[in-house]
Structure 1
């Protein structure tokens, strides 16, 4: 695909737009009239993008039109009578409900793939599903007007779109619990202090800061970036000895690829 080309099925009507400029893909939430509130149709499209992402893409930027990143789940859908409404989900068997939610999760979790680096560009509110979408990205550049909130608890629900582990890794279990059970708003400066933000920039400089970060990622060796992301992603699950082993194995692969043994 070339610059500006849209992914098949990625339309403003769905609420998700895909564009690619060389090795950089941009996924844009485009329902600004409802603060980019998310629907199952949008999640289907996000999942479709992940399955058809060209192999030459190295960086994926997730952004949103308008004054907010995402107000979270579209409550008109959640409280309606469609197949993905909360009432319909509650009528399913436990296994069927879990399977349906697993499908929703794939729209978010592909952003953690070791083959790409993902950057969320967040302005205004990122609530519930919006917060979790940003959390699934590797890095989060926040405008100074950004506000995070894990608001699922206000509906009597839990965060279920892949955000709880990353949140806990970033801020620790005690702070993560406080954020999730209160559903409070977290301003950009506080998000920065607690490690939720990679950087906070003036609203007018958000796009430029994200482009600069993407360029820095692209300037690095692709193989090294993939190995580094995998090393860091698994570090919390490994002992020191296991991490040391993972490092030397990764370095061995890099040396072999870069220099080769000639065998």
Structure 2
């Protein structure tokens, strides 16, 4: 895939992650195509740093991967006895006490949590393999546009572990408990057609049209007034945790803020 941000000076470019910003639009690119954008703790730290580095002008963030795969999951070196030099091995993590182990995993999760901030709309452009951590990174975004060659798979359970990079909640939200359980426990591939039909993806396009489709979607997202988008996203994200009457009250409060703002009337 050609990079749509190749003419922009990167705001961050390290450990397999490049961030570029073009006023209201930011692009985060995974830049390890030779390893199918395999993920490591260093890459997760860079992703978290990218989120912290976004200027206040940014409204839409596009996440993409260079090469033929979005992300094929964890770097295989993490599964070896020696692990990745300078990083804890799985055995090292297992030997930590409960608080330390919890803090370690929470640190890894920081790369996956900021994509749902209410002041941003995030879009994953997904082609080829999106496996394990790659699947969860796509799930971290608000929206997913996929190429017709996409292959989602959650392989953690098959390896004796669980998906712990924030992917279980959005997966159940999108496809329901029964299908989420079946996808995770079997580790099977989910292709483009099924991804759209079950709600995992918003749109599927030929692989050569992926960047253009994402640009069109980003443009449509940016066309709406920012404050209205922020309020709407907050309403929708909170709807599942509220009862019907609570949601009605939240809508009233949000609309009151919008009307007063548009009329220039202070509260």
Q: Into which bin does the TM-score normalised by the smaller protein fall?
A: over 0.9
Gaps of 5+ in 1: none
User: Residue 185 of structure 1: SS of its match in structure 2?
Assistant: coil
2:44 corresponds in structure 1 to 43
SS of the aligned residue for 2:254 comes to helix
Match of 1:25 in 2: 26
TM-score by length of structure 2 reads 0.94
The root-mean-square deviation of aligned C-alpha atoms, in Å, is 1.2
User: Residue in 1 aligned with 2:70?
Assistant: 69
In 2, Cα distance between equivalents of 1:5 and 1:255: 39
How far does residue 5 in structure 1 lie from its aligned partner after superposition? 2.0
The number of residues matched between the two structures is: 258
Contact 2:25/2:59 (<8 A) preserved: yes
1:208 matched to 2:212: yes
Matched, 1:242 2:234: no
Distance 2:158 2:111 in 1: 23
Aligned match for 1:165, one of 159, 166, 169: 169
User: Could you give the per-residue CA deviations for residues 149-180 of structure 1, whole angstroms, max 9, x where no partner exists?
Assistant: 01111210100111101000111111111111
TM-score (norm 1): 0.95
Equivalents in 1 of 2:64, 2:259: separation in Å? 36
Number of the residue aligned with 2:100: 96
Question: Partners of 2:11 and 2:174 in 1: how far apart?
Answer: 32
In the TM superposition, residue 231 of structure 1 has moved relative to its aligned partner by 0.6
SS at match of 2:156: helix
Structure 2 segments unaligned to the other structure (5+ residues): 1-6
Give, in angstroms, the shift of residue 85 of structure 1: 2.1
Partner of 2:54: 53
Query: 1:40·1:84 contact (CA, 8 Å) conserved in 2?
Result: no
Q: 1:49: Cα distance to partner? A: 1.2
What aligned pairs does 1:183-198 form with structure 2 within 5 A after superposition? Answer: 183-198=187-202
Alignment partners' CA distance in 1, 2:139 and 2:149: 17
**Superposition deviation, residue 262 in structure 1:** 6.0
Question: Residues 32-51 of structure 1: CA distance to partner in whole angstroms, max 9, x if unpaired?
Answer: 11110001000000111111
